[in-house]
């Protein structure tokens, strides 16, 4: 079983009066989410479940990722994941995680959770920051016993690295 933890892609701050939860992705964010989806389609394999914060930017991130997958699951949008802390993320995964699951959320909770979950953190200075679009793929033994230090990191990627590998940014 795999867990994919993704922070939403870069958001657009130009319409700040619309409120944080309604903030959409920027153009860069849309490109980043799409390239993440392409990467997942090639490197992760089928995704069985999608748990997504109810915010606009996380929904858009999922939609763009899902558009690159051959058989994307129907997402479960959860208000509880909007700016969730570590314990809420853990409880959500214990309740809803099955097979290969992607969870798309926000900092600081997702960054703290990503680090706490890893048996051994990747050797990348951006892992602790968990910038927009940061994605970690973990191997999970049992969803019901998911705990601190219980998951093996299989991969850690950033959209900007994927885009620069393609020669665009």
Q: What is the pLDDT of residue 13?
A: 77
Q: What is the pLDDT of residue 169?
A: 42
Q: What is the pLDDT of residue 60?
A: 98
Q: Give the H or E element holding residue 51.
A: strand 49-53
**How many angstroms separate the CA atoms of 109 and 126, rounded?**
15
105: which strand partners?
Answer: 7
**pLDDT tens for residues 22-43?**
789 999 999 999 999 999 999 9
Q: What is the pLDDT of residue 11?
A: 93
Q: What is the pLDDT of residue 12?
A: 87
**How many angstroms separate the CA atoms of 63 and 6, rounded?**
13
Q: What is the pLDDT of residue 168?
A: 47
**pLDDT tens for residues 82-98?**
999 999 999 999 999 99
**pLDDT tens for residues 117-132?**
999 999 999 999 999 9
Q: What is the pLDDT of residue 16?
A: 60
**How many angstroms separate the CA atoms of 33 and 128, rounded?**
20
Contact 36, 165 (CB under 8 A): no
49 pLDDT more than 70: yes
Average pLDDT over residues 43-54: 96
The share of the chain scoring above pLDDT 90, in percent, equals: 87
Confidence band (pLDDT; 50, 70, 90) for 21?
confident
Mean of pLDDT over the chain: 93
**How many angstroms separate the CA atoms of 83 and 146, rounded?**
20
């Amino acid at each position: 079983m795999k867990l994919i933890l993704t922070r939403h892609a870069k958001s657009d701050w130009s319409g700040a009066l619309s409120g944080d939860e309604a903030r959409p992705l920027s153009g860069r964010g849309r490109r980043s989410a799409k390239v993440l989806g392409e990467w997942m389609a090639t490197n992760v394999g089928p995704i069985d479940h999608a748990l997504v914060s109810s915010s606009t930017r996380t929904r858009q991130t999922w939609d763009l990722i899902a558009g690159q997958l051959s058989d994307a699951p129907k997402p479960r949008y959860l208000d509880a994941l909007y700016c969730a802390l570590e314990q809420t993320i853990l409880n959500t995964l214990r309740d809803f995680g099955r097979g290969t699951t992607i969870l798309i959320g926000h900092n600081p909770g997702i960054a703290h959770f990503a680090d706490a979950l890893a048996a051994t953190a990747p050797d990348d200075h951006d892992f602790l920051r968990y910038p927009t679009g940061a994605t970690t793929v973990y191997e999970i033994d049992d969803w019901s016993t998911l705990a601190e230090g219980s998951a093996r990191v299989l991969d850690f990627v950033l959209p900007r690295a994927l885009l620069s590998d393609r020669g665009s940014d």
